[in-house]
Structure formats: structure tokens, C-alpha cells
Chains A and B, each alone.
Chain A
């Protein structure tokens, strides 16, 4: 074993540079304009779809997929760098479709799913909404009630899902449904590919505080052939949980907050508050920046270490939960500290010439609150830390 090394390798640094250059070319002014439209924050517009196809053609989709499935089999560290670089640009890359659902379908799907679905995901031509949560099944996801009843031709699906983000422009829903009603909770769940153009599919928009649109989706007697089942019947839970750590880590990637820190720092350095002083000269402003800086350093190290743990094929449950809790709560604190620096100007949306950073700060703070409960609520994460990290008794 060599000396402990806490930095990117030359190869990793080069990948980061390559990605940065690539995205500079990809994100055109037209795409930027489209992404500022609340309707298209999360993608789905024509410019977004064009960019995704370009990325597919250039081989930038499916980086985490195994080589034999058409992917690049990048290591967890390289994937982290990819996520970091994409998120810094603000491009709403559909990670869940391409890096979670895609490889699962490519590996466990039917022949139809592999040929028709997985291939098109790699080309950037096809998108998924995730159908996990239900009105009465959130944190306790295994209690979900959407039914898929086996019949001679396949499965008949009935039920309702909540927070089905991206469903409004998705081709399919990656749907968790109950197939065994006798088995205990998580043992009776199966995964399906459900087409959104089925007449039994419908949705209503849920407009959120962050202006991000999500959906309630309804499944009324939707019939899918057996080829739409992914994996074995009643073994869907392991597919849901298999990439949870990687997904959680992507949620708390340090890239976006560091980018925002840099943006606000250079703004404060160039903002005059009187004839002799810049905003940056105020002591309390410096203190806020220092708080954010020392928090980002810890977040970066936590994420890198967690990625390194995955790289070596191990799993450390407590540390994965540390990343999720610390990151999500730090974001909220960091956005607050940065907004304080710009003061009331932080409140302006980008319809004003006075607004700062195209109102990026105003937009980001509003979307931060979902991360403390989304992706595995922090109460459950703290339970895991106490049990797995401190070997304390299970909470009742």
C-alpha cells in the first residue's frame, strides 16, 4: 500500500478537463435560455433532447454501464467526476434514467427491453420517470400498494404513484408494483417498464416551491406483456436498493455548491458598496465565505472517501449515510450564508436587470429543501449511522 493520497490522479484530472471542455461546447445559448424556463428546468424541451442525442452519439451516456452492455464501465471515481462536472454546468442530465434504470434494464431486462429500451437510453433518445413513492408509501417504500396482477398475457397494473418527476416528458415509467400479496412487504415487489402512451396512464402536475414540476401518476388497468417485467417476479426490491448508495452520493455531490461559492465570491469581489469598499471587504461577509469554504472541504472529502470505498468494492453503510445527512443539511446552510452575503438582491428572480447570477442562487435555495427528506429521509439515515456506525440498539 502506498501513502494516503487525497487528490485526483492525473488521469482523473484529465477526464475532468475533457468533460468541462465538452460541456462548454454542448451548452449553447439556446439551450441555456430553454433551461431558464420553469417548464424546462428539469429538461424535456427540444434543445435538451437535441443535446441528449448529441451526448449519446458522442458516447457520453452509459458511463457506468458494463462494457458488454454497451457502456464504458467507468470506475466510481470517474463517475463521480462526471456527475460533478455535469452538475456544475446546471444541465439537468437525467442520471436516474441513464445511470440507474438503464444499466438495470440492460442487465436484467427481457430481450425486448434490452434491444428496444436499453439501446435507446444509450442513444439519448428515451427517458424514464421513476415510479416508487405512493400517497401512503414514502419513507416506508416497501409498503407500496400499486398492484400488478399476473394473467395469461402478462400483467394488469392498477394504482397511483406520487412525485413521479420527469413523467411529463418520459416515454416510460420505471414502476415498482406489488405482485405477491401474501409475502411480507419488500418480498412481494416487482419492477416494470410501463409506457406512458398507454390509454390507462394519466397524470396531474404537482407544482413545487422550487418551480420544479413533478407529477401524480395514475395507472388504470394498464396491461403490459411479460417482456416488460425486469428481473425475476417478486425480486424487485433488490433492484430498487442495488444502486441506492451511488444515487445518494450523486445527490450530495460537492460540485454545484462549490461552483455557486465561486460565483458568489467573484461577484462579491467585484461589487462596490461605496467609493472605497467592495462587498468582500466586510468582515461578516468574509466570515460567511469561510463557513461555506470549510463546509465544502468536508463535503468534498466525505464524497471522495465514499467513492473510494465503492471503488474498492466495499460498502460502508454508516459513511454513505453520513454523506447524505451532512451534504443535504450543509446545502441549506451554505445557500443561506451565500444569500446573506448578497442580501435582498438574492430575492430577485431573473426577470429583473438587478438580479444576480441570473437568479441562480434564488433558484438553488428553493430546490435545496427536498434533499433532506428525498433519497432516504435523514431520520432513517441517522438511525443507520447510530446502528451501523456506533453499534447502538435499533430505534423502536
Chain B
């Protein structure tokens, strides 16, 4: 049993804090509130400093395969409300290719990501509750695949060079790399203004070599992709809820009513304490899931537990924070509102708490 972070992990945490606190000042964040929310300058700075290689094997120029390290990046991006949506690119695409691809051409894409290029995923489908079973089809004919279907909530698809797409075929589930130019990309406007896109594939014909995994391993690769995504989104949620809890503590320690700071009212401090408890639970289940996923590529129950806590903590802490801040919580000149909107996205993407409880319930009650 050892809950301590390694030295390098503490250093990553501290240096990311230094970079992001300077970069994600309100004046800068405001620039992205209504515009395309992707801070290209920050992205290239993180690339130049090697942060995009967290969790990536040294042979690709990364800092070593470890999802815990990558988790720190997402936690910090969440904590500072950074205008970067990188779960598709860094967690889903880079990690899945690293674990499952045997082609040099696909592996080259990891190097491209480390340089700061975007390669994203197109996995989720409207009204498909089971992402392991895509509605998108890949018809196989000889060496060619023809892809037809609609994906959505694909992050940064408009500036992405390629898209990692999940599709069903006669050979089962496939993960396929498709050049962005072959897809029809249209922008969606989401609650937190995340750069999310709808992606249509209208009979796109590509080479069979676009399949990133060995034959018959598609479902395994997709499950890994989804679990990694769930766990990294839990880390993002951790950063968001950490910040909201810190804002609660700071604000209620200063705001005075009835001649005393409101944080000295037990009703207020106890609601804050409940946020702290949720936060601690979320931190621990996220850490457990990341560590287990490092050594075992199928830890669905751990990932589900992390995402269930993420959904619940995002919801509860967000509304506690808004309530305890009074009008300040919804004032767009204060910082809290951005976190509340981000929290709602984190809560619902990769399965809501209720949806994941359903899945977890099926898993743990299956008669062996």
C-alpha cells in the first residue's frame, strides 16, 4: 500500500500549475467564452515543454506509459478551466494506438500529437446508449472499407488531421483511422462551449490498413478506449470540483453577513465539508482506476465507479458552490460559472451516473 506520488509526479503537478495559472487568467479565458474554444498558443507551449507526452512511451518521445501522469494533466486542465479539449486526442487516440497498433504509420501519429497536432476520436453516436456497439457500419470488400454513419461530440474535429472512428462490421467492431477530409464535419454548440462536432460519414471508402488493431481485437481496443476516456474524464472532473470547492472555502471565509463571515455558520461549513468528502472519494476512485488500467487493459468496473463518482461529485459540488456563492456564483465577471458548465459536461459525457450504475449493476450481478 502506498498512496504517495512519485517525485516526478509532484513536479508535473507543480509546473503545470505554474504554467496554467499564468495562462488561464480571466482576461484570457474571456476570449474563448463565445469564440472557438481552443487555445492554440497554450497547446503549442504545452507541446514544446513535453506535456503532451505524459503517459506516452519513451520510444515516441513521451515521458513513459503511465495513465496516472496523464491524469495529472487532465486534473490541472480542469482546475484552471483551460480552453483545451484533449480527451479525444490524448486519452482516446494516442493511448489506444499506443496499446493496440502494430503499424508504423499509425504509430507515427503519436509523434504528430506530441508535436501539437490534433488527431481526435469520433466514437459517440446520438441516442446510442452502448458505445461498445456502434451503429456506424464499415462494409468490408477486399482491401477496402466503406464507412457510413453519424458520430457526435467529436472534440476539435474541425482542426483535426485524422479521426479515430468506431464501426461495426462483419468482422465485429473495428477502430479505424479516417482522414478528416473524408468526413463531413459540422459544429455543435454545447453548454460549456466545448469545441464539439457532428461528423457524418457518407459511404467513405478507405483502405483496410486504416484499421489500427490486429484482426479480432477491435472490441478489446474499443473497450480500452472507452475506459481510458472515462477515467481521464474523472480526472478532469476532479480538477473542476477541486477548484469549485476551493472557491467555496475562500468565498465563504470572506463574505460577511450578520456581522460575521458566513463560513462560520455551521450550515455553510457543513455543506462545504460534504463537498470535501465527495472530492476525496472522487480522487481515490480515479487514482485506483488509473493505476489498475495501467497494468490491466480491462478494468471496466473500476472505470465505471470512477465515472459514477465523477458524475455525482460534479452535480453536487457544482450546485453547492453556486448556492453558497449567492449571486456571485452566476455572475459572469466572477470565475465560478465556467466551472459549473464544464461540470455538467463532465457529468454527462462517457455515461451519466445513472447510466453507469446500470452498467455496473449488470457487471457485478452476472451469474458466473
Q: Which residues of A contact B (CB under 8 A)?
A: 1-9, 12, 77, 265, 268-269, 278, 280, 283, 285-291, 293-294, 297-298, 301-302, 304-305, 307-309, 311, 318-319, 322, 325-326, 379, 382-383, 385-387, 389-396
Contacts and interface: CB of A to CB of B under 8 A. Distances in A.
A60 B302 CA distance: 35
A280 to B, nearest CB: 5
A385 B280 CA distance: 11
A304 B245 CA distance: 24
9 contacts: A1-B4, A1-B7, A6-B1, A268-B365, A289-B361, A298-B281, A319-B280, A382-B273, A391-B253
B3 A294 contact: no
Contacts of A285: 361, 365
Contacts of A307: 1
Interface in B252-267: 252-253, 260-261, 263-266
B291 A6 contact: yes
Contacts of B305: 293-294, 297-298
Closest 3 CB pairs of A and B: A286-B361, A386-B269, A290-B361
Which of B3, B284, B302 gathers the greatest number of chain A CB atoms within 10 Å? B3
B277 A326 contact: yes
B276 A301 contact: no
Contacts of B215: none
A241 to B, nearest CB: 21
B271 to A, nearest CB: 9
B273 A386 contact: yes
Given A291-B357, A304-B1, A305-B3, A4 B291 contact: yes
Nearest to B366: A280
A305 B270 contact: no
A322 B305 CA distance: 19
B266 A393 contact: no
B5 interface: yes
B272 interface: yes
Interface in B1-57: 1-7
A265 B3 CA distance: 30
B1 A322 contact: no
B360 interface: yes
Given A4-B68, A280-B365, A297-B285, A393 B276 contact: no
Contacts of A322: 276-277, 280
Interface in B121-179: none
Contacts of B358: 283, 286-287, 290
B275 to A, nearest CB: 8
B260 A395 contact: no
B149 to A, nearest CB: 29
A395 B301 CA distance: 40
A269 B365 contact: yes
Given A4-B4, A4-B291, 6 more contacts: A290-B364, A291-B357, A294-B305, A326-B281, A379-B270, A383-B270
A4 B253 CA distance: 34
Interface string B267-311: 001101110110011001101100110000000011011001100
B249 interface: yes
Contacts of A393: 253, 261, 263-264, 269
A276 to B, nearest CB: 14
A9 B66 CA distance: 21
Nearest to B248: A390
A2 B68 CA distance: 13
Nearest to A268: B365
A286 B272 contact: no
A301 B253 contact: no
A392 B253 contact: yes
Nearest to A284: B361
Given A298-B281, A392-B249, A4 B276 contact: no
Which of B1, B263, B270, B302 gathers the greatest number of chain A CB atoms within 10 Å? B1
A301 B1 contact: no
Given A4-B3, A290-B361, A385 B253 contact: no
A128 to B, nearest CB: 31
A4 B283 CA distance: 13
A395 B261 CA distance: 10
Given A322-B276, A382-B269, A396 B5 contact: no
A73 B288 CA distance: 29
A382 B274 contact: yes
Nearest to A288: B361
A9 B266 CA distance: 41
Interface string B60-84: 0000001010000000000000000
Contact of B288 (A8, A301, A319, A389): A301
Contacts of A301: 281, 284-285, 287-288
Given A326-B277, A386-B263, A392-B253, A293 B270 contact: no
Nearest to B282: A298
Contact of A77 (B1, B68, B284): B1
A307 B1 CA distance: 9
Given A297-B285, A302-B284, A386-B270, A391 B249 contact: yes
Contacts of B266: 379, 382-383, 395
Contact of B309 (A268, A280, A283, A298): A298
A393 B269 CA distance: 9
A1 B6 contact: yes
B357 A395 contact: no
A394 B266 CA distance: 9
B361 A385 contact: no
B250 to A, nearest CB: 9
